[in-house]
Each structure stands twice: as structure tokens, then as C-alpha cells.
Structure 1
Amino acid sequence: MGECSGAMTPGQAPSRQRKAPVYGLDVVRLLAAVLVVVYHLGFKAWAIEGSSLNEVLGASTADPPGWRLTWCGWIGVQVFFVVSGAVIAYSARGASARGFARRRVARLLPALLIAALLALPVAISAFGMAPAKAVWLALKTVTFMPWGPWIIGQFWTIPIELCFYALVCVLLASGRSAQGMRGLVWGLGCVSCGYWLAVAGGLLEPGGRLTELLLLQHGVYFAIGMVCARLGSGELGPRHLALAIACVAAAAIQVREAAVWEMAGRSDLAVKWLLPYAIWLAATALVALSFLYRDAIAARVEVLSGALRLAGLSTYPLYLVHIHVGGAILLAAAPLGILPALLAAFAGSLLASLAIAAWLEPPLHGIVRSVLGKVGRSALALPGLRA
């Protein structure tokens, strides 16, 4: 859920070069967001009893319209993790630890604040949550608490992303970022592969929030993304191919387990985990091709570059707001039928995310960057912290 920066401005120092956009990633991110949204609004809300939206709607049907296309949309999260690994590996090259941390916070915080402000009244008025509980969960969310619950349920992935960012930031601060990033690829890939190999062998029980935060569960996805970011650079060798193959194999075990977790009470669908795995493989191949043919793609989509960038930037807000914006619309439109309600909820969520990305986030980005810059300068002015 990161972003690739625009072109370098004249006179910039090499360490502060802004990377050329990777437009293919915007398409993949949008695909991942759409998968998650249609899964939550089009399938889980209706077919998984006990889920948050299902309880609010108070209606269940085993096979909602279009369920064959929506039930496996949860795989969009795994696609997001691959994209994040690729984006961070690409954008962190030549960056300082301070600049990297400032950009990450400025990227994550504005949309999260907006999403929490939207979620709070909806949770209270439409979802029937007690005001005190809603405020507490909102505070936990905007302060990036790693353990849930949160007012935005899908926020569970953001602390995992932050743990990955923290590792990268430490490497950048070490002064040996190039060697460290190569080591991080291998460390994440091998440790996570080992975890899933132990799970497959019956030596470990899968699951647990701590294993998520330690990147044991999802490290294979970040590692694959980091490898993809090196495509076309001439830096990859046969050993990297071997690592990628191992991670792809470990991802199959993770997807199989995730299908069981997601399809609670739907063993008929959990056994069909190969379908979401195939979707993930196809999306990961698109990430790889986005880097391999970055320049060629950029030349062909130059006219659409603005629209593609907006689509890419809107995916994070869409991921955050669709449960509350789309859920409120589902409630209002449910008497029209599941399919019309889904279409209305999806359209409303998409419009809200575009408005956030185009108009609401940019001024907040500037404020957050300014505040972080002042905090950083104040910290450096303290005795013992001066350069």
C-alpha cells in the first residue's frame, strides 16, 4: 500500500532522487483493492455468519449473486503484501532513514485519520456500537496499536506493514542499506519459508498475532516483492530465482491456511484454495512484469499517467473506508436486492476513496510532513543527537 514517487527534479542530489513511477503497480494495487472490497461487500457480508457486516445486515444467504467471483477476493491482501515489498525495496534505494520514515508516516496517517472520522459515526449510528467503545477503538486505530480490535477491522494488515517498514528503516540508518536490503530479502524469505515448512510438517500450529507481527506468516510475500523490484536491474542471479520459487511454494501453504480462516463454516469453498492462489500468482506475475517492462509501460501510458496515479493512490483509502461507507450503503439499499446493493456500495466506496485521494489527503500530507520535519529538526538539536 506504498507508492512510487515521481520523476527527479533538476539539481537533486543522488541520495534524494525521486524514482520513476512504476505504472503497472497502480493497476495491480487497484485490482487488489477491488478483490478485497467485493469479497467483504459481495460475499462475506451475506454468506459468512457472524462477520461484522453480516451481523449488521441480519440477513444470510449461502450463495449471494456473483459468489463464484467474490468469495476468494480475500487474496487481495496477499497481493498487497507483494506490492508493498516491491514498492518499499524500490523507493528505499538511496533514501535516508529519516526521510523514509517521514514519507511512510505521511503516506499512512492522513487517510487513516479521515477513514477513522468516517467510521466513528457510522459505527455508532448504523452499526449500533456503543459510543465509548467506538471512540476507544478509533483511538487504537489512529495510534497504530498492533493488537485489535480496531474500529476499522481490515486495519489488521497495517501494523504488519509497519513491522516491515521498521526493518527497512533500521537498515537505512545502519549506513549499509545496499547489503542490508539484500540480507533482508533472504532473511524474510528463508525464515518465513521455514515457518510454513514447519506448519506443513505438523511441527507448528499456524496462526497467532505475534507470528504476523514478526513477519513469519507474510514474510514470503514481502520477499517476493523485493525480488520483483530488482527485475531489469541486472542484479538478480539463479540464487534469487531459487529463493523466489521457494517463497511461491511457501505461499501456497499460507493461502491454503488462509482459505480455512476466511471461509469459516464454508469447508466447501476452503478446499478450493487453488483458485485464489492462482489469482495471486497472476497478480504477482503482473508485479514482476511491471518492473521488467517499466520504461516501455511508462511510454505507452503517458496520456493516462495522471489517471493511473490517482487510481493507485486511491487504493489505500478504498481499503480503509469500504466497510463503513459501503456497509452503510448496503444497509440502505438491501431492500433492493443483494446485487443492486453491492453495486451501489461499491460505487459509493470508490467515489469516497477517489475524493479522499484527490482532495482530502493532499493538504493533510503537507501538514503531516511539516510537523514531522519540525519534530525531526528538534530531535537533532538535542545534545548528543547532533550530526
Structure 2
Amino acid sequence: MTQSATAQEPAPLPEPESAAAPVPVPVQGAAPAPGAARPRLYVIDALRLCAALLVALHHYVGTWRVNQPHNLIWGRPSSDIFPNVFRVTSYGWIGVEIFFVISGFVICMSCWGRGPRDFFVSRVIRLYPAYWFGVLFTGAVLTLWPAVFKPPVSGRDMLFNLSMLQQGSHIADVDGVYWTLWSELRFYLVFLLVVAGGLTYRKVVVFCCAWGVAAALAPVAGLPALTLLADPDAAWYFIAGLALYLMHRFGQDMLLWGILGMSWLMAQSELAKRIDTVEHVSSWRGALLLYTVFLLFMVGVAVGLTDRLQWKWLATAGSLTYPFYLLHYAVGTDIIHYFRDAADPRLLVAAVIALMLALSYLVHRFVERPLSRLLKRGLTRSFARLGPAPSRRAAP
């Protein structure tokens, strides 16, 4: 990521169960009309898939190892092989930031009116089945056919990766893209505090402000625990997604525009840091332009301008996003490395993307869905032994 595609996100990236979003209420504080529902947000599936493809194209075409004279994927700088396409794909890394914003939007959507038990179960069954397969499959490929990436971890560290908590224990990821899951997990942890009390307009707004203050103070506070929970590198993207969902549910107001504006101001600084430290091949101006256009499009989604987009095939496409993201990097670059001299580079990239999408469908169909059903039954029975969950209803 599966459940509903209206609520799918990144990596990045799990989706909610509800297939339709509540009708937005123009008067702040009023509850949505009972039983009323907007059309399913298929556009969210389209955005997630586009973000995943952007990241993949960046890894395959739009980057190189700046400290080495030759690109280890192609044998020479990819900018020489794809001189025109490279200028665009060098910005593909911003797909991760797009994932984070969508995650904030859809997690808030999927949790509205639900308790912490449902939240926990939904996140486990969404995140872990495809991830477990990704760890084992990628580890096996890198062990048997090391090329661009040598086997990054020992057998015991690979097993620890199955917990998804390896970064918290300073253990290397089996695949480099897994770093985003650590940010997702921290977002779930802090947002669980709001879910436990029942989501309301007021509580989500307070959470956005409080988490934003923590994220702003963490870099100068010198408190590791605060930095760990505040996650200043990613928090503002999740906050933007939360504000956009409140616009979607309750309508626009000055406060929500203020939260969204502050998240944009803080995000532009984080984009600059990302470029300075990792993504040297792109510019701050270009990244900020792309991110701003995406946020404006999400505003259109929030206020209902895309509700008429009802292409049902996008639900299936969106379900491939999470396994595709988990599998595309290390395995895909290995394939390119081995076949780079036997095929046209453009056809090879297209073929690898098609292969990864096909593999992602198989993982979704034969790993995610059956394992998710099994986990959901087991966890539901386990929580039933704890007694009934406290009843609560969503309030404005």
C-alpha cells in the first residue's frame, strides 16, 4: 500500500479502509451530514502511483554517486545517457515528500470515528505483509547477485529488519528506501495519542500546532527524545496532509490555511537541506516549485475539484504502490546493472519498471491480501480477549 484506495498512501505508505470521504462542511465546527458521502477519491491512488514512479525514475535515471567517477548502475553518469530526461528525473526524489503529505491526509481520513485498536490493526496489516516479503526477497537477490549494492547486513540483522525498527537500533536497512518507514512509524506513534481520545476538528488542529512547535524546537533543543518523536525532517509534510484533510471534511478557514502556509514555509527549508546533503543533482527552486504545485493540487482535491475523476482501475493501480516502492530500488538497479550492455537504456528502464509493477501485483494479490486477512482475524480475536473497546463518536 489493502483496503480502500481512497485512503492509500506512501511507504511510504498505507491506506485507510473507507472508500468514500465525508462531505465537507462549510461552517467550521459542524459535523458532516449523517450518511452523506463524497465519491471515492481515486485521484489519491493516481497521486500515489505517480509519486512511486517519480522515485523509481530518480533512482534509475536521475542520480549518480557523486563521490565516484562512474555511475555504478550504468557504468557512466546517467546524465550522459539520458541528457534531457535526467533534468526532470533528478527531481524525482520529491515523490517521498509527496508520500508523506498524502499519508497525513489519508491516515486522518481512515481513523475518523475509530479507536486506537482499529488504528493499530489497520497499520499492522497494511505495513507488514508486503514489507516482510520485501526484506526477504531483496536480501536474497542481493546475496545471490550482488552488483550495485552488496549485501548490506548480516543474516541476524536481516531478521531484525523484519521488525521495521532497525533504524531505531542503528542497524542498516536491507534496502535504502526503507528509511521512510521509520518516519511513518513515528508519525503513527504520536498521532495515536489523538486517535485514543477520539478525532475532532479541534484536537487535530491542536495536534498540528503542538507537533509543529516540537518540530521547530527539536533542532536547537539538544534533546534526542524530542528529536526522535518530533521528526523535524518529515513532520511538516504530515502536518500539511492533516490540514488538507480537515479542509476536505470541514471546509476551508483561515486557521487551516495558516497551518498549511506554515508547513509550506518550513518544508521549503527542509527541501533545501535535502538537496544540500543528499540530492545534489537538483535545485532548491525547482524542488520548491514542484512541491508547491503538488500542494495546490491537493487543495483542489480537498475542496472537491477532482471528485469527478472516477476511473475505477486506479484503485488497482494504487494498490501496487507500496510493494512497488519496497521492491524497486535495490533489485531494480541490480537488473539494470546486469543488462545495461544488452539493451537500449530507455527500453531497459521501461522494462524494469514494468517488471517491478508486475511483481508488485503478484505480491499484493498473493502476499498482502491473504496475510492481511490472517493478521486481521488474529489481532481482532486477541483484542477481543481484552474486553470491549471504549465507545466514542467523532465530534467537531
TM-score by length of 2: 0.80
Deviations 1:329-376 (A, max 9, x none): 212321135433322222221221222223431111101112222332
Distance 1:81 1:273, change over 3 A: same
User: Per-residue deviation at 1:180?
Assistant: 2.9
* 3-state SS of paired residue (1:21): coil
Q: 2:324 matched to 1:318?
A: yes
Distance 1:300 1:30, change over 3 A: closer
User: Per-residue deviation at 1:19?
Assistant: 8.8
* Alpha carbons 2:62, 2:87 under 8 Å: kept: no
Spell out the pairing of 1:188-203 with structure 2 (5 A cutoff). 188-193=211-216
User: Per-residue deviation at 1:130?
Assistant: 7.8
**Relative contact order: is structure 1 or structure 2 higher (C-alpha 8 Å, sep ≥ 6)?**
2
Q: 2:39 matched to 1:40?
A: no
2:297 to 257, 276, 286: 286
State the alpha-carbon separation in 2 of the partners of residues 62 and 54 from structure 1. Answer: 7
Partner residue, 2:14 = 2
State the alpha-carbon separation in 2 of the partners of residues 132 and 257 from structure 1. Answer: 26
* Alpha carbons 1:188, 1:215 under 8 Å: kept: no
Q: What is the count of residue pairs matched by the alignment?
A: 358
State the alpha-carbon separation in 2 of the partners of residues 246 and 132 from structure 1. Answer: 38
User: Per-residue deviation at 1:310?
Assistant: 1.3
Unpaired runs of 5+ residues, structure 2, are 1-12, 21-32, 392-396
Unpaired runs of 5+ residues, structure 1, are 9-13
State the alpha-carbon separation in 2 of the partners of residues 357 and 112 from structure 1. Answer: 11
State the alpha-carbon separation in 1 of the partners of residues 17 and 172 from structure 2. Answer: 33
Residue range with higher mean Cα deviation, 182-191 or 130-139: 130-139
CA RMSD in angstroms comes to 3.3
State the alpha-carbon separation in 2 of the partners of residues 59 and 177 from structure 1. Answer: 54
State the alpha-carbon separation in 2 of the partners of residues 32 and 4 from structure 1. Answer: 18
User: Per-residue deviation at 1:100?
Assistant: 0.9
Distance 1:176 1:103, change over 3 A: closer
Partner residue, 2:378 = 371
Kindly provide the amino acid, as one letter, of the partner of residue 158 in structure 2: A
User: Per-residue deviation at 1:178?
Assistant: 5.0
* 3-state SS of paired residue (1:59): coil
State the alpha-carbon separation in 1 of the partners of residues 205 and 371 from structure 2. Answer: 34
Distance 1:114 1:15, change over 3 A: farther
State the alpha-carbon separation in 2 of the partners of residues 173 and 286 from structure 1. Answer: 31
Kindly provide the amino acid, as one letter, of the partner of residue 233 in structure 2: Q
State the alpha-carbon separation in 2 of the partners of residues 377 and 100 from structure 1. Answer: 15
* 3-state SS of paired residue (1:133): coil
Q: 2:268 matched to 1:229?
A: no
Kindly provide the amino acid, as one letter, of the partner of residue 250 in structure 2: G
State the alpha-carbon separation in 1 of the partners of residues 330 and 150 from structure 2. Answer: 16
* 3-state SS of paired residue (2:165): coil
User: Per-residue deviation at 1:219?
Assistant: 1.1
Higher helix residue share? 1
State the alpha-carbon separation in 1 of the partners of residues 38 and 68 from structure 2. Answer: 45
Kindly provide the amino acid, as one letter, of the partner of residue 114 in structure 2: A
Distance 1:224 1:74, change over 3 A: same
Q: 2:165 matched to 1:145?
A: yes
Distance 1:193 1:285, change over 3 A: farther
Spell out the pairing of 1:293-304 with structure 2 (5 A cutoff). 293=304, 297-301=306-310, 304=311
Distance 1:54 1:105, change over 3 A: farther
State the alpha-carbon separation in 2 of the partners of residues 356 and 19 from structure 1. Answer: 30
Q: 2:101 matched to 1:90?
A: no
State the alpha-carbon separation in 2 of the partners of residues 223 and 166 from structure 1. Answer: 14
Partner residue, 1:11 = none
* Alpha carbons 2:74, 2:337 under 8 Å: kept: no
User: Per-residue deviation at 1:43?
Assistant: 2.6
Deviations 1:233-265 (A, max 9, x none): 3354212212211110111110011011223xx
User: Per-residue deviation at 1:17?
Assistant: 11
* Alpha carbons 1:4, 1:19 under 8 Å: kept: no
Q: 2:45 matched to 1:29?
A: no
State the alpha-carbon separation in 2 of the partners of residues 217 and 133 from structure 1. Answer: 25
Kindly provide the amino acid, as one letter, of the partner of residue 342 in structure 1: V
Q: 2:256 matched to 1:240?
A: yes
* 3-state SS of paired residue (2:173): coil
* Alpha carbons 2:332, 2:352 under 8 Å: kept: yes
* Alpha carbons 2:166, 2:172 under 8 Å: kept: no
TM-score by length of 1: 0.81
State the alpha-carbon separation in 2 of the partners of residues 49 and 347 from structure 1. Answer: 30
Deviations 1:56-89 (A, max 9, x none): x472316141211111111111111100111111
